[in-house]
Amino acid sequence: MNGILAKRFEELAQLKAGWLDGAGMQPDAEKLEAVARKMIEGYPDCLLLPFIVPTPDGNLLLEWNVSGDPTVDLDMSGMDATFHVFNENDEDHTETFSLRDDAGFDSFFAFLSSLGQLRSSDSTSYSLSGFSTYEIITERLKSIKDGTASSVHIEALMREHGIED
């Protein structure tokens, strides 16, 4: 999982000013590196990976394709993360976290871990949105090699993407 996050943050670090049809600010390199390091080191293995996209104003948006459409708006200038989710009555619930220090990231990760809809069914499951089949399979192969997953996980992933043996 860390490899997938690392690759995504490497891609985001390559963005240049004007990346969006001549508009689109590039994320602050120093702050992006800090966020990447904390996400790669601390993002809970029990959670689905978010799809991470840049916003035109130089910030990041994290999205999960699960019930309630949870998202996190990560304000790179202030290092604040605002979590949004719709409850069963279609009301928007928000929580804001300061990510200026380790304690802030710990609190943010603990909050995400408390949300049932973000938890994967097993510690080697990944949210597939935003990642290529190659990236997912490569990461799963690494987890088999290091003993954290079985070939059953790869077979299920291959079936899911219509890939035959």
pTM > 0.85: no
What pLDDT is stored for residue 90 in this prediction? 81
| Residues 19-36 pLDDT 10s | 998 999 999 999 999 999
Copy the structure tokens of residue 164: 């035959």
Backbone angles phi, psi at 65, to 5 degrees: -95, 70
| Residues 91-137 pLDDT 10s | 889 999 999 999 999 999 999 999 888 887 643 344 444 455 555 55
Domain with 102 in it:
2-117
In a domain, 107, yes or no: yes
Q: Are residues 25 and 65 in the same domain?
A: yes
Q: Which residues contact 115 (CB under 8 A, 6 or more apart)?
A: 70, 85
What does the alpha-carbon distance between residue 150 and residue 161 come to, in Å, rounded to a whole number?
A: 18
Q: Are residues 21 and 51 in the same domain?
A: yes
Give percent above pLDDT 70 in the chain. Answer: 72
Domains: count for the chain = 2
Q: Are residues 92 and 17 in the same domain?
A: yes
Residue type, 73: D
pLDDT at 158 over 60: no
Copy the structure tokens of residue 74: 């990560």
In a domain, 50, yes or no: yes
Q: Are residues 146 and 68 in the same domain?
A: no
Query: Among 117, 141, 156, which residue terminates a domain?
Result: 117
Q: Are residues 111 and 136 in the same domain?
A: no
